[in-house]
Amino acid sequence: MNGIFNCMKKFNQKLLYVEDHDAIRNSMSRLMGNVLFENPIDTAENGLEGLELFKENRYNLIITDIAMPKMNGVEMSKKIREINKDIPIIFLTGFNEEYINDIEFINNSYLLTKPLNLELLVEKIKGISHI
C-alpha cells in the first residue's frame, strides 16, 4: 500500500458514504473502514437513503456520488443543508458538468473526480479535519 497510508493516524470522524454502485460502495467502505477511519462507516445506495440515515444519525463528514437513482447527491446535500449548514460534503463524480454549478453553491463542499485518487481524498479529509 502507498506510503501515505502506512504511518497515518486514522480519522476519528463518523462518515456517511453514499454510492449507488454496489461493488464501489462495498470496496470503498471496506478500504476506508480498515485504513482511514476509526469508526464504522455507514453506507447508503442512493440520496434518499442517505438523507434518511443523516436524519437518524450524527455524522462529521459525508462522501457522496452525484449521479444516483431516487435522489442524486446534489439534491440530498441541499436537503442536508436545511438540517446542518456546516457538515463537510465531498462529492465524487465522473465529471458530469450539469451538476458542477449546483455544487458551487453548497457551502463547505468539495469535488473530486473519478477514478478516485485516494491520496487526494486523504489530503482533502486531512484539510477538512485540520489534521
pLDDT, residue 97, reads 59
What CATH code is carried by the domain that includes residue 103? Answer: 3.40.50.2300
Residue 81 lies in a domain: yes
Task: Give the pLDDT score at 112.
Answer: 79
User: Is residue 49 in a domain?
Assistant: yes
Q: Looking at the domain assignment, is residue 25 inside a domain? A: yes
pLDDT for residue 1: 45
pLDDT value, residue 103 = 64
Residue 4 lies inside a defined structural domain of this protein: no
Specify if 29 maps to a domain.
Answer: yes
Coil/strand/helix, residue 94: coil
Residues 129 and 41: their CA atoms lie apart, in Å, by 16
What sign results for the dihedral spanned by CA atoms 6, 26, 58, 72? positive
Structural domain includes residue 92: yes
Q: Is residue 5 one of the residues assigned to a domain?
A: no
**What percent of the residues of the chain are helix, what percent strand, and what percent coil, each to the nearest 5?**
45, 20, 35
Q: Are 114 and 92 in contact (CB under 8 A)?
A: yes
By residue range, what is the domain housing residue 32?
12-129
Neighbouring residues of 34: CB distance < 8 A, sequence distance ≥ 6: none
Q: Which helix (H) or strand (E) holds 104?
A: helix 97-104
Which secondary structure element, helix H or strand E, spans residue 113, and what is its range?
strand 109-113
Does the residue 125 lie in any domain? yes
Question: With a cut of 70, which residues of the chain have pLDDT below it?
Answer: 1-8, 95-108, 130-131
For the chain, the domain total comes to: 1
Q: pLDDT, tens digit, for every residue of 61-91?
A: 999 999 899 999 999 999 999 999 989 999 8
